[in-house]
Amino acid sequence: MLNFEFKNPTKILFGKGEIAKISNEIPKDAKILMIYGGGSIKNNGIYDQVKEALKDHDVYEFGGIPANPEYEVLMNALQSIKDRGITFLLAVGGGSVIDGTKFLSAAANYNGEPWDILKKSVRTFEGEGMPFGSILTLPATGSEMNSGYVISRRETNEKLSSGGPGLFPQFSVLDPEVVRSIPKNQIVNGLTDAYTHVLEQYMTAPSSADLQERIAESILISLQETAPKVLADEFNYEAAGNFMWCCTMALNGLIQKGVITDWAVHAMGHELTAYFGIDHARTLAIIAPSHYRYNFETKKGKLAQYAERVWGIKEGSVEEKAELGIKKLEEFFHSLDIQTKLSEYTEDYKGTAEKVEKAFTDRNWVGLGEYKKLTPQDAYKIVEMSY
């Protein structure tokens, strides 16, 4: 096991009715900016619950954060924070709203051009951000219990991530009841995103970190078992709770400690969202199978372990099991009605591999993957295999 440090300061309030408790988590004299998305919270009662919980606090609002949070919109929110003397941010939404809030938390305490925070390499914002909490409405990203975020800039077709130890939410409310109103296409996105988060921290080489590997496998199995229950027409609170907690545990830092990780699927996937607007999770399902086939030699040991422990495949050589593992992964995505080829999302896919290669070269992303050896030319080939 590799050396590691682990600190996750986010307090989780899990369960039905927990939104009512947020007034205890925010200072009484705080000037709060409640940040939300396109309005789902006004239709499903979450907005009313938050307003009721904070009726004795000083609350301002900023709505309209779009999916894949947009820099220009966030700059308007930043202005609002400065104009009103806001001291506490409250994200009420999915990953996009929480990520946008993290960026605002960083930008509010940053003396300089805010975009510079994102232009630096990942996790360089070391300062303390403005304090914030979150009320999660869409299980998927794990943003509610980590310190990373991803911001899009449509003007330049960029989607960049950043983060830092000062950007964890102070608290996050996980009430499974919110799952009731989530459309099925977003539930399958959440399942796919969380599943791939585990894979990015797991599908490298077999390691001696037994516990992390077993926890990772347990999250994968739980997501597989929960999927049909959470997608059934009748709402199932227990399934919703398991789904929600799996998504949080998939990316709160725990399973990546002491092991090598490979975030190349996300790096390539983000490009597909930037060029075509494809939902984040679906870009991962497009890239992951090709990534594993392209890097088969270095990943086959772990792919075989995945096939064996997660899918119960006991027969065959390491290579045969590994290939079956990739097939099982594709079948799982297809069972969620998630397509795994770029051409199934857009007719304009030709030339995408060249664009990704150029973007990575321009950003000097010349060594991705668990061994920092995946070049922009490799990315070209993986994206081309994903057409």
Which option in ligand NZQ, Zn ion, none does residue 253 bind, with CB closer than 5 to 8 A by kind?
A: none
Which option in ligand NZQ, Zn ion, none does residue 95 bind, with CB closer than 5 to 8 A by kind?
A: ligand NZQ
Q: How far is residue 32's CA from residue 57's CA, in Å, rounded to a whole number?
A: 8
> 10 Å Cβ neighbour count for 249?
21
Residue 283 makes contact with ligand NZQ by CB under 6 A: no
C-beta closer to ligand NZQ: residue 263 or 311: 263
Minimum distance from residue 189 beta carbon to ligand NZQ (Å)? 5
> Could you tell me if 129 and 102 are in contact, meaning their C-beta atoms sit under 8 angstroms apart?
yes
Binding mask 198-237 for ligand NZQ (x = CB under 6 A): ----------------------------------------
Residue 290 makes contact with ligand NZQ by CB under 6 A: no
> 10 Å Cβ neighbour count for 138?
28
Minimum distance from residue 54 beta carbon to ligand NZQ (Å)? 18
Binding mask 185-214 for Zn ion (x = CB under 5 A): --------x---------------------
Cα–chain-centroid distance for residue 313?
A: 29
Region of residue 169 (left: phi > 0; alpha: psi -120 to 50; beta: else): beta
Looking at residues 315 to 374 of the shown chain, list those that interact with ligand NZQ (rule: CB under 6 A). none
**CA proximity to 191, closest of 220, 214, 212, 218:** 220
Backbone dihedral angles phi then psi of residue 175, each to the nearest 5 degrees: -105, 110
Residue 282 makes contact with ligand NZQ by CB under 6 A: no
- From residue 347, alpha-carbon distances to 83, 275, 338, 344, 350 in Å are 45, 13, 17, 8, 8
Tokens for 106?
A: 């960083």
> Could you tell me if 293 and 330 are in contact, meaning their C-beta atoms sit under 8 angstroms apart?
no
C-beta closer to Zn ion: residue 34 or 264: 264
C-beta closer to ligand NZQ: residue 270 or 300: 270
Minimum distance from residue 71 beta carbon to ligand NZQ (Å)? 12
C-beta closer to Zn ion: residue 49 or 226: 226
Tokens for 176?
A: 């499974």
Q: How far is residue 79's CA from residue 154's CA, in Å, rounded to a whole number?
A: 20
Q: How far is residue 35's CA from residue 351's CA, in Å, rounded to a whole number?
A: 37
Tell which one of 33, 34, 35, 96 touches ligand NZQ (CB under 6 A): 96
**CA proximity to 167, closest of 133, 202, 201, 116:** 133
Of 94-102, 111-119, 126-134, 219-227: span binding ligand NZQ (CB under 6 A) = 94-102
> Could you tell me if 1 and 208 are in contact, meaning their C-beta atoms sit under 8 angstroms apart?
yes
Total binding residues for Zn ion by CB under 5 A? 1
Residue 94 makes contact with ligand NZQ by CB under 6 A: yes
C-beta closer to Zn ion: residue 177 or 193: 193
- From residue 36, alpha-carbon distances to 141, 186, 202 in Å are 16, 17, 33
Q: How far is residue 335's CA from residue 323's CA, in Å, rounded to a whole number?
A: 18
Tell which one of 18, 99, 213, 217 touches ligand NZQ (CB under 6 A): 99
Minimum distance from residue 95 beta carbon to ligand NZQ (Å)? 3
Minimum distance from residue 247 beta carbon to ligand NZQ (Å)? 9
Which option in Zn ion, ligand NZQ, none does residue 99 bind, with CB closer than 5 to 8 A by kind?
A: ligand NZQ
Using DSSP, state whether 233 is helix, strand or coil.
Answer: coil
Of 16-24, 140-148, 209-217, 374-382: span binding ligand NZQ (CB under 6 A) = 140-148
Residue 99 makes contact with Zn ion by CB under 5 A: no
Q: How far is residue 88's CA from residue 109's CA, in Å, rounded to a whole number?
A: 12
> Could you tell me if 269 and 342 are in contact, meaning their C-beta atoms sit under 8 angstroms apart?
no
Binding region for Zn ion (CB under 5 A): 193
- By CB under 6 A, name the binding residues for ligand NZQ: 37-41, 44, 67-68, 93-97, 99, 137-138, 140-143, 146, 148-150, 178, 181-182, 186, 189, 193, 251, 266, 280
